[in-house]
Amino acid sequence: MPHRPHSLPKSVASQKWCNSSSRLTSQEPAPGVSLLPPLTRRGYGPGFIIMLPNWTPSYKESGTLCEDGVPPPLLKWSEEGFAVAGTTEALLNLAISGLKNCPECHEEDGIGLVLWNRLIAKVILPLSILTAVCYGCASDPPLQNASIPNLQHLTGEADSRIAKKGGLTKCNYPSMKPRFAVPSLDNFDYATEAISHPRNLTFLKRYIRGADFDLGAIWEEHCYFEFEDRSVAKKMGTSVQELYVNHILTMTSGVGRKLLTSFYRDHFIFTNPPDVKHELASSTIGVDRVCDAFIMNSTHTCEDQATVLIQLGPLPEYLPSPHHLLPDGRQPGPGNRSEFRVPATGVETVAKMLGKNVVKSNGMLEYKVGKSAASYDKSRLRSGAASRP
């Protein structure tokens, strides 16, 4: 579904993302410590340390490259506006020293920490670390006292899904296995990790300042470039380096800068109806997302999708072509007829919503008229029981 266009605000707040497509390189202030400055237009931010377990996968380009559309931890947190240091527990002080010497890190705004399979009470923390996020198991011994506020994501059965006491907040994921939030591992669960991440941001930003952005202003700028200015390059300039967009109902858009640029250039920005107007019904701005509900009005200069009919069952996957010709103008031949694939999807839209890589993007753009045997069972076509003859 198209985004909501608006005029560009006269004064747009400091934008969040730096989308340079050039190759990123992390710094190594000390052996075993990787450091990546904030990937924002502002270029500076508070510090953040990722305490990596020894079973962490070896990511490409030292953790600065998306793999299958999923950013490694170092890249993910730098895109949130933090100066990020990745290290192990034994090198924690070296990581802090690296952040203090990093000109893009405003250490006075505080330093956060994320660690896996290690409860915060078991780690001796320097005073410069103000808050932490932990991933562990509900079966671990209960934590009574914490030296700093911390958020715990615990797998397995627990007494409650979310529990708060003092500076401690616990979120439970009973159906998940440990390590669900570490990309490239077998137990990695994209959808659940995506639930835990905004919880992390909401919690961390209570105690660490300097990584706050006006998402509303960024969104207005994004919509302006997409619908008013109709500039692919400027629209992409409001996004992270390896972005993705999922148009669920039509199964279109793309994962990654190259595919998404192609989609917007060839299939979206310049093919929208010329008179699109949106009436905003509501707008909700969260810590890392904008949710607009609106009414869209336009002249139907392009075909609609029949997702609802596919899901209900009366519309089959293939139908006879009303023109009875193949794309090159030839007749389909004796015993055959021309048919086209209905440009709509059903349950695939749900799978695409839960995981952006589950179903290939833009498959519908490849649908063409073809030929098939002419022995259609009309009763089955009406019921949608048969996808093709």
- Model confidence pLDDT, tens digit, residues 180-196: 999 998 899 999 999 99
Are 58 and 196 part of one and the same domain? yes
Are 192 and 317 part of one and the same domain? no
Q: Which range of residues forms the domain containing residue 344? A: 307-383
Q: Which of 204, 231, 263 is the last residue of a domain?
A: 204
Instruction: Band the pLDDT of 341: cuts 50, 70, 90.
Output: confident
Report the alpha-carbon angle 288-213-105, nearest 5.
Answer: 105
Q: State which of 99-108, 122-131, 324-333 shows the largest mean pLDDT.
A: 99-108
Give the tens place of pLDDT for each residue, 60-94: 888 888 888 899 999 999 999 999 999 887 888 89
* pLDDT for the residue 141: 67
Does any domain span residue 130?
A: yes
* pLDDT for the residue 291: 93
Q: What is the CB neighbour count within 10 angstroms for residue 72?
A: 23
Are 181 and 326 part of one and the same domain? no
Q: Which of 163, 181, 204 is the last residue of a domain?
A: 204
Instruction: Band the pLDDT of 114: cuts 50, 70, 90.
Output: very high
CATH at 171: 3.40.50.1820
What integer is the mean pLDDT of 27-53? 89
Is residue 43 exposed (0-12), middle (13-18) or buried (19+ Cβ within 10 Å)?
middle
Are 55 and 183 part of one and the same domain? yes
Are 61 and 180 part of one and the same domain? yes
Are 185 and 56 part of one and the same domain? yes
Query: 18-22, 35-39, 202-206: lowest mean pLDDT where?
Result: 18-22
Are 81 and 200 part of one and the same domain? yes
Does any domain span residue 329?
A: yes
What are the counts of helices (DSSP H) followed by strands (DSSP E) for the chain? 9, 16
Does any domain span residue 61?
A: yes
Q: What is the CB neighbour count within 10 angstroms for residue 383?
A: 12
Q: Which of 181, 204, 227 is the last residue of a domain?
A: 204
Residues 233 and 221: their CA atoms lie apart, in Å, by 13
Does any domain span residue 136?
A: yes
Does any domain span residue 166?
A: yes
Does any domain span residue 260?
A: no
Are 182 and 41 part of one and the same domain? yes
Does any domain span residue 236?
A: no
Distance set, CA 191 to CA 180, 187, 188, 198, 258 (Å): 10, 12, 9, 12, 23
Are 199 and 313 part of one and the same domain? no
Give the tens place of pLDDT for each residue, 151-175: 999 999 887 778 888 888 999 999 9
Number of domains forming the structure of the chain:
2
SS3 for 265-322 is HHHHCCCCCCCCEEEEEEEEECCCCEEEEEEEECCCCCCCCCHHHHHHCCCCCEEECC
Q: What is the CB neighbour count within 10 angstroms for residue 130?
A: 20
Residue type at position 167? G
Query: What residues pair up with 321 in beta bridges, in sequence order?
Result: none
The SS3 of residue 222 is helix
Does any domain span residue 273?
A: no
Instruction: Band the pLDDT of 304: cuts 50, 70, 90.
Output: low
* pLDDT for the residue 339: 83
The SS3 of residue 190 is helix
Residues 163 and 169: their CA atoms lie apart, in Å, by 6
Are 320 and 182 part of one and the same domain? no
